[in-house]
Structure 1
Amino acid sequence: MSYNGRYISVVIAASGMGKRMNSNINKQYLLLREKPILAYTIEKFDNNEYIDEIVIVAREEEKEYCFNEVIKKYAFGKVTNIVGGGAERQDSVYKGLLAVNSLCNIVLIHDGVRPFVRNEDIINSIDGAANYNACVIGVPVKDTIKIVDAKKDIIDTPERRYLWAVQTPQSFSYELILKAYKEAMQKKIIATDDSMLVEKLGHRVKIIEGSYSNIKITTPEDLKIAELLLSQL
């Protein structure tokens, strides 16, 4: 089903090493109930009625494994390309953006190890990109946040009501995010997430409230939480 005539692409970043997982298998291929984390993630977008294509960014040496053990094994029909990643996440996402279909109007960028994104959050992200050209999914922080210096001395306590934990998907007009990435490459700007590059252009980014269950699996403790979340589905 078309979304108001727009072509919707998804770039899934799945080229991380997962050093904090203390595993000899990269985190996106770790199994949850005998199924790779990445497969759960792709499935959410493959099943969404508005998504037209999915581009996976994997480590160059894992592209064949990704195709055989995830894409082919679980018959994901919307995956059109698996591209090799770069040195950093930012480089990898840029490669993914360059690989989407030329018809793309809106692109969602998502972490391969966030398998619990809800369908409603995907739809809200598409709506947000259509209405504002740039939006991110996030949740209000529950804890008080402290800003500390290099010596670990607290130097400030920002007001919690203004603080949100940002997740993915982060969703954009394709033209806007590509412009942001190209400028970042030219100016050697390093960002911790995609929306920061759009902010650097002076463009406003809307935040949309998502779910606390949309966790990023990066540590052994996260795996245990993921197992619990799966048991509740």
Structure 2
Amino acid sequence: MSDLSFTAVVPAAGIGSRMAADIPKQYLSLGGRTVLEQTLARLLDHPAIGRIIVATAEQDPWFEQLAIARHPRILRVTGGRERADSVLNALAHVETDWVLVHDAARPCLHRLDLDAVLAAGQQPQGAVLACRVRDTMKRGDGEGAISTSVSRDELWHALTPQCFATVPLRQVLSDALAAGCVITDEASAMEWAGFHPRLVEGRADNIKITRPEDLGLAGFFLQQMNESKI
């Protein structure tokens, strides 16, 4: 992997309504910094990431208050209504051949996992960090009861970062949005276009902060990571 060969895109325009907080979850305090600062620090620490493009809400008053916002390798752009819109807006500013997209609210990314997905993503299909489903899976009937059990064989939780060639990802996202496709992550858009991204097994503690209880858990994981220097 050559130095500074990747651009990282971090969509951060969401409001995180399930956190029931007064400010978006990416600006909540975590380990003496904001969640977003913790996430960006993990990416800035990698020598292959030359630039990070953060897509925030147009009227976001918090980002520019962060010291990290003035880092020379960070560019802020305006995000969109949905995650895919934010990513597509950011991709317009990507100049590298390869790009990775990482959730703003995933601050517990391990360096070895980042190394692995960057290495695996440098091929036409791209790559997605993921972890295997461990629990018995149930499909609901829409009325609060179990419809059926689902085999967990070859079921994975999709995580981020997700790494792809820049030009195909930009085109696929644009086409999928124009077609009204429901895009849950970048891999789902690539799948819609016929690609088969590689699954890169990562750590289960790479959690996405979604609910209030996740903040404490992420703090614990970060403390463990800092103590072990990973």
Q: TM-score, normalised by structure 1?
A: 0.90
Q: Among 91, 103, 107, which residue is 1:97 paired with? A: 91
CA-to-aligned-CA distance 1:60-79 (integer Å, 9 cap, x gap):
111x531331424xx63321
Q: What is the 5 A alignment of 1:127-142?
A: 127-142=119-134
Q: What is the 5 A alignment of 1:42-121?
A: 42-62=40-60, 65-72=62-69, 76-79=71-74, 81-101=75-95, 104-121=96-113
Tell me if the contact between 2:131 and 2:202 (Cα under 8 Å) persists in the aligned partners: yes
Q: 1:32 to 1:203 in 2, by over 3 A?
A: same
1:228 aligns with 2:220: yes
Partner of 2:159: 167
Partner of 1:206: 198
Among all aligned residue pairs of Structure 1 and Structure 2, give the percentage whose two residues are the same amino acid.
30
Q: TM-score, normalised by structure 2?
A: 0.91
Instruction: Name the CA distance, whole Å, in 2 between partners of 1:192 and 1:179.
Output: 17
Instruction: Name the CA distance, whole Å, in 1 between partners of 2:121 and 2:197.
Output: 9
CA-to-aligned-CA distance 1:126-170 (integer Å, 9 cap, x gap):
111113531100101111111122223433322212111111001
Partner of 2:173: 181
Partner of 1:122: 114
Q: 1:6 to 1:66 in 2, by over 3 A?
A: closer
CA-to-aligned-CA distance 1:206-228 (integer Å, 9 cap, x gap):
11000111010111100110121
Instruction: Name the CA distance, whole Å, in 1 between partners of 2:120 and 2:16.
Output: 30
Tell me if the contact between 2:4 and 2:48 (Cα under 8 Å) persists in the aligned partners: no
Q: Among 10, 28, 37, which residue is 1:12 paired with? A: 10
CA-to-aligned-CA distance 1:49-97 (integer Å, 9 cap, x gap):
11111000111111x531331424xx63321x21111111111111111
Tell me if the contact between 2:139 and 2:146 (Cα under 8 Å) persists in the aligned partners: yes
Partner of 1:32: 30
Task: Give the 3-state SS of the residue equivalent to 2:89 in structure 1.
Answer: helix
Bigger mean CA deviation after superposition, 6-15 or 43-52: 6-15
Instruction: Name the CA distance, whole Å, in 1 between partners of 2:104 and 2:198.
Output: 22
- 1:218 alignment partner AA: T
Bigger mean CA deviation after superposition, 186-195 or 155-164: 155-164
- 2:206 alignment partner AA: N
Q: How far 1:197 moved relative to its partner?
A: 0.6
Q: What is the 5 A alignment of 1:146-165?
A: 146-165=138-157
Bigger mean CA deviation after superposition, 131-140 or 49-58: 131-140
Unaligned residue ranges in structure 1 (runs of 5+):
none
- 1:97 alignment partner AA: L
Instruction: Name the CA distance, whole Å, in 1 between partners of 2:31 and 2:2.
Output: 37
Partner of 2:187: 195
Tell me if the contact between 2:118 and 2:163 (Cα under 8 Å) persists in the aligned partners: yes
Tell me if the contact between 1:133 and 1:176 (Cα under 8 Å) persists in the aligned partners: no
- 1:86 alignment partner AA: G
- 2:94 alignment partner AA: V
